[in-house]
Amino acid sequence: MEHSPFLKLKHWQWWALVAINFFFLIAGQAAAVLLGRFYYDQGGNSKWMATLVQTAGFPVLFIPLFFLRPSPEASTSSTWPPIRILALVYFVLGAVVAGDNMLYSVGLLYLSASTYSLICATQLAFNAVFSYFLNSQKFTALILNSVVILSLSAALIAVDDDSEGPSGVSKKKFLIGFLATLGASALYSLLLSLMQLSFQKVLKKETFSVVLEMQIYTSVVASCVSVVGLFASGEWKSLQHEMHGFDAGRVSYVLTLVWTAVTWQVCAVGVVGLIFLVTSLFSNVISTLSLAVTPLAALVVFHDKMNGVKVVAVLLALCGFASYIYQNYLDDTKARRLRTDVRESHV
């Protein structure tokens, strides 16, 4: 079995690492969404390029993988599934990631950053549903409450007459953006459940390096699919014209794409770090909670409209988060109590 370096940490060191990864996730995701919106606002129009940069920064993940790799003894003692099975799992999940990222890119094209983030918050509700069917997670009253509240939050955005996309996007395109983002949130939640299922049924383990490797290999596949889409769609022909016509300049165009790719991977490091410092559920909750930060950041950076309906939607989303987190707290307390009882029974 692989021994995680986190097991040797002192209590204050553990809290420090949790805080660092928490910051990586919150800041990385918020910055990536804002940079994606900036790309479109300044004249960028390639949906496949916006899709590609969400995974193209995967080489960044080799840094934590190098420093936190398992010992040679642990690696050789582990049993791995056949290469063909692994390749199939990584290919299917990577293709799903590419499709999911494409939906997110379409959503961000037609929605303001704040509206986009509020709709993305529904992924927690979808995650509860898929986890119930695929991962045997219990559907408690608190979880149901969270699903209902988050659904109401998204519904408010959908029916709000004052909701609009950037630069006066038409209602039809706003609806396309809304449905694309909602679909992307559902697909992302399904993806998380499928990954969890892969760890349980195929890989038979869920260690830091294994999850990080899955993140890397699925990103490689997703990047390849995005490159194929970029050329197959013909969008690559307009990239040079797009760069020259970028309002903030050519250098800013390149830097925007580079930093978008980097910030998505910084977010990924935070996600994986929290999985192993705390739990995968906690990591997912914080990932969704970070979406509540983005509307506030968009308000400052892009001066997005924040009408009464959006404020109510944000408050509902926060209530949904609180309900989900409290259920997580209850589950964790129960699990700790059971572990304590087992230890005492063996004494």
Q: Which residue has the higher pLDDT, 334 or 247?
A: 247
Q: Give the mean pLDDT of 135-148.
A: 80
pLDDT at residue 2, as a whole number: 44
Query: Does the residue 265 lie in any domain?
Result: yes
* 308 belongs to a structural domain: yes
For the chain, how many structural domains are there in total?
1
% pLDDT > 70, the chain? 86
Is position 1 within any domain?
no
Confidence check: pLDDT of 293 > 90: no
Report if residue 128 sits inside a domain.
yes
The tens digit of pLDDT for each residue in 158-186 reads: 666 555 566 668 888 999 999 999 999 99
Q: Would you list the DSSP string of 269-337?
A: HHHHHHHHHS-HHHHHHHHHHGGGHHHHHHHHHT-----HHHHHHHHHHHHHHHHHHHHHHHHHHHHHH
Instruction: Determine, yes or no, domain membership for 76.
Output: no
Please state, for a pLDDT cut of 90, what percent of the chain lies above it. 35
Q: Would residue 53 count as lying in a domain?
A: yes
pLDDT digits (tens, 9 = 90+) for 104-139: 999 999 998 878 888 887 887 888 788 788 877 777
Q: What is the residue range of 250's domain? A: 11-67+81-337
Buried residues in 131-170 as b, exposed as e (16+ CB within 10 A): beeeeebeeeebbebbbebbebbbebbeebeebbbbeebe
Q: What is the pLDDT of residue 69?
A: 65
Q: Is 74 among the domain residues?
A: no
Q: What is the pLDDT of residue 162?
A: 59
> 342 lies in a domain?
no
Please give the biggest Cα pair distance in the chain. 73
Residue 103 has pLDDT above 80, yes or no: yes
Of the listed ranges 23-32, 158-167, 232-241, the least confidently predicted one is 158-167
